[in-house]
Amino acid sequence: MAMELMKMPQLGESVTEGTISKWLVKPGDHVTKYDPLAEVMTDKVNAEVPSSFTGIIKELKADENQTLAVGEVICSIEVETAKTDNENAGQVSHSEENVAAPVAQQAAEPSRKARFSPAVLKLSQEHGIDLAKVKGTGSEGRITRKDLLKLVESGNLPKTDEPSAISDSAPEVVAPQVNRQTSPVTNVPTAAGDKEIPVTGIRKAIASNMLKSKHEIPHAWTMVEVDASNMVKLRDNLKTDFKQKEGYNLTYFAFFVKAVAQALTEFPELNSMWAGEKIIQKKEINISIAVATEDALFVPVIKNADEKSIKGIAREIQELASKVKSGKLKAEDMQGGTFTVNNTGSFGSVQSMGIINHPQAAILQVETIVKRPVVINDMIAVRDMVNLCLSLDHRVLDGLVCGRFLARVKEIIEKISKDNTPIY
């Protein structure tokens, strides 16, 4: 037998960590290669992690709702090897040296050693909980995040200066080594009636990615006002027949994504990424679109958007949105994005500054189309107007090229008509 380690995989570009949302196995279970081990959440995707080995689950290295960096061990699996008993005698595999020995020591001295996850340590620090006075319900009495959340909800928190009401033993804390920086604990005063809402794994992942974008990328912002009256008229004339024929909606957003993809072919500078000593200008134009659920935001990708018709883009928008809402979005659906278009107008926004989707160089916010009086040829007319707001990475892009890019998108939208804008 040999011990193999399963590690947190990278489930998308720029993804640096994942959260175990649910274990699908337990110690002692037999698994075969490719069997699902756990459900994992990141800021970009929900996915199952398959086993790379056939064998017996020996230890789960993380609690549910615990966040681990890419490459950190999530569990150990005992697998059969081709070695003879004589070869195995007196030998311990490299993985066993790192994993099995500490586990054995912990089992041999359960009253002396305790292993706490980062999530447990963080919660105990936030609420002043004395872990020596908490009785765990996890494997071998291990304290889990759920144990602490139940105590927080009950209000019966064992403090460090209170006598033990739960456990008389005082285990030594052996904190796991974490190969990443953790956010500092923020002490926020609370009052009667305040509601404490535990941060979910996916919300932590979104927060981490947004923080990384704002810390690393010097954001700048610009906006243009666009007369979308011709586009609105064409789409409204076509939408009923299109829905009957195709089975899905022809949305305004599809027109904007097509216009952006066309403009990116003419201004490839915006289809770039910062890479330290160089700037990578991407050949493919893959448009990331933001799709929201009740509590999270996902960014699936329309691949080669410049090669697709408005109809093709509308279909992909509908398919990707359906995958997000049904929980069927895959890791590959999130990968390869080179520029993001966000439909902020769908919830009534008229002006906003988006946070750039790292490592891309820009994000365009398409705001609400509103009817407004405007001056045309010294006459006042009511037109369908929309603001397009561009956030840009000032390491990669300057205002001049971004202004020209937005002007070109504006031109494309304002020149949409039945004669020069094919849908198919």
Q: Which residues are catalytic?
A: 394, 398
Q: Are 202 and 43 in contact (CB under 8 A)?
A: yes
E strands of 100-149, at which residues?
113-115
Q: Which three-class secondary structure string do you get for the chain? A: CEEEEEECCCCCCCCCEEEEEEECCCCCCEECCCCEEEEEECCCCEEEEECCCCEEEEEECCCCCCEEECCCEEEEEEECCCCCHHHHCCCCCHHHHHHHHHHHHHHHCCCCEEECCHHHHHHHHHHCECHHHCCCCCHHHCCCHHHHHHHHHHCCCCECCCCCCCCCCCCEEECCCCCCCCCCCCCCCCCCCCCCCCCCHHHHHHHHHHHHHHHHCCEEEEEEEEECHHHHHHHHHHHHHHHHHHCCCCCHHHHHHHHHHHHHHHCHHHCEEECCCCEEECCCCCEEECEECCCCEECCEECCHHHCCHHHHHHHHHHHHHHHHHCCCCHHHHCCCCEEEECHHHHCCCCCCCCCCCCECEEEEECCCEEEEEEECCEEEEEEEEEEEEEEECCCCCHHHHHHHHHHHHHHHHCCCCCCCCCC
